[in-house]
Homo-oligomer: A and B are copies of this chain.
Amino acid sequence: MKIAIAGYGTVGGGVARILEKNAQTIARRAGQPLELGAILVRRDFPGDPFESRMVRDFSAIENDDATQLVVETIGGCGVALDICTRALRRGKHVVTANKQLVAEHGAELIALAQRHGCQFLFEASVGGGIPVLHPLNECLDANIITDVTGILNGTTNYILTQMLENGAEYADALAQAQQLGYAEADPTADVEGIDAGRKACILADIAYGRQIPPERVSMRGISGITALDARFAAAAGMKIKLLGRAVRAPGGVYVFVCPHFIPQTQMLACVGDVFNAVSVSGSEVGNVVFYGPGAGRFPTASAVVGDLIDIARNPNRPQPVCWEPDGAAALLDADDHPARFFVRSRDTREALEQVLGKIDWLPEQEGVNGGFTAETTRRALDESGAALDAVYPVYEL
């Protein structure tokens, strides 16, 4: 099977290298050699080992009937969407690591693959190298999925780990993440929960069968978290983690991203540094968790090549992962999601309990009160009139 790669950045370059390095093992597992064809680039790579394969115009790939599969590792929804659409229309399979593309255009690309008898796969778009979409879509098929909750962004998890384990302030931890190459110069998509939100949408799409529009999803990031919150969490025997969630409820599904307090007895609390994990609850299986590297060249490329082998083994099967386009109506307002909440305030305990009811107080930190409410909603807290400086739901299975 002849494969083209569109986009020669971190992940695209990793795919080319794995196809070369592990060619023999891959051929045995795929039942045929995976032959690397053209690589679509936007600039020169003088002296690169794959230089002779590079092309500047996608038409060269589009019009090559021998190329049966296109790997898209450009990112975003501009050129990437155009290329994927053109490839699928020609009956070429497409494998991508592009979470924005899948979150925003998954349903239409899946439908296009179905119409043209080819496949559109994207295991790498959520959780990087961790196998999670395939298991969710296949192995757990006997279940009604009730809850999918993940640590879906490594950069923010690194920052939170630095704040909680090493007492770093938010700004210092972010600077450190940028120095180590985890965070971009403009870290907005990571720290404001946008990246995690896209991945939560893809998980929701698979688990609930309808495309949830990312622009309608509530995304709260970590930029408001303080060292004081970290101290309260430690005092409670908990961690603070940015969670992307998709929770089934009567009448629809809550899909949202926000920082949660997590008891240390939960597996998700054990996930430190840049690692990711996805917890899935199903009607029959109970709870399973998938853990591993959520980003990085070779882990992400490992998931892409896994999809390539999967297609090479099953070139004639129908599109294996599908959902309907119109999920907006199923989306419930995240402010109504019921949970216990950690609340922090400079107000007195008496005044707070008068409007919020009984609160499970933690030891006072620097003259500030913090504790846990009974089950309620963010909306009820907002409307209570209580002077709250921070509000975080508690994640409990």
Q: Is the CB of B282 within 8 A of A287?
A: no
Given the known inter-chain contacts A29-B141, A144-B25, A291-B267, please indicate yes or no for A129 contacting B298, CB distance below 8 A.
no
What residues on B are CB-neighbors of A272 within 8 Å? 265
**Contacting residue for A306 out of B141, B306, B308, B320, CB 8 A:** B141
Partner-binding segment picked from A67-75, A101-109, A130-138, A222-230: A130-138
Total interface residues in chain A, CB < 8 Å: 53
CA distance A29 to B137 in the complex (A): 9
- Decide if A284 touches B18 in the complex (CB within 8 Å): yes
Chain B residue with minimal CB distance to A299?
B285
Mask for A253-296, Cβ within 8 A of B = 1, else 0? 00000000000010100111000000000111111111111001
Asked whether A247 is an interface residue with its Cβ less than 8 Å from the other chain, the reply is: no
B140 touches A306 (CB 8 A): yes
How many copies of this chain does one complex carry? 2
Nearest neighbor of A320 in chain B, beta-carbon distance: B313
Q: Quick check: B139 and A134 within 8 Å, CB to CB?
A: yes
Q: Which residues between 26 and 40 of chain A lie within 8 Å of chain B, taking CB atoms?
A: 26, 29-30
**A301 within 8 A of partner (CB):** yes
Give the CA-CA distance A113 to B289 in the complex, in Å. Answer: 32
Contact present for B284 and A298 (CB under 8 Å)? yes
Most chain B CB neighbours (cut-off 10 Å) among A265, A289, A309: A289
**Which of A30, A138, A284 has its CB near the most chain B CB atoms (within 10 A)?**
A284
The answer to whether A143 has its CB under 8 Å from any CB of chain B is yes
- A306-B138 in contact given A267-B291, A292-B289 (Cβ < 8 Å): yes
Say yes or no: B289 contacts A301, CB within 8 Å. no
User: Do B293 and A285 touch across chains, with their CB atoms under 8 A apart?
Assistant: yes
Do the beta carbons of A22 and B313 come within 8 Å of each other?
no
Which chain B residue lies CB-closest to A139? Answer: B131
A204 CB-CB contact with B under 8 Å: no
Question: Known pairs A14-B284, A286-B298, A288-B291. 4 more at Cβ < 8 A?
Answer: A139-B303, A270-B270, A313-B317, A314-B317
4 nearest CB pairs, A to B: A288-B292, A131-B139, A142-B305, A131-B135
> 29 A-B contacts, Cβ less than 8 Å apart?
A14-B284, A18-B142, A22-B142, A22-B144, A22-B283, A26-B141, A26-B142, A123-B139, A129-B286, A130-B288, A131-B288, A134-B139, A139-B303, A140-B306, A141-B305, A141-B309, A142-B302, A142-B304, A142-B309, A143-B302, A267-B291, A284-B305, A285-B292, A286-B293, A287-B293, A288-B293, A313-B320, A314-B314, A314-B317
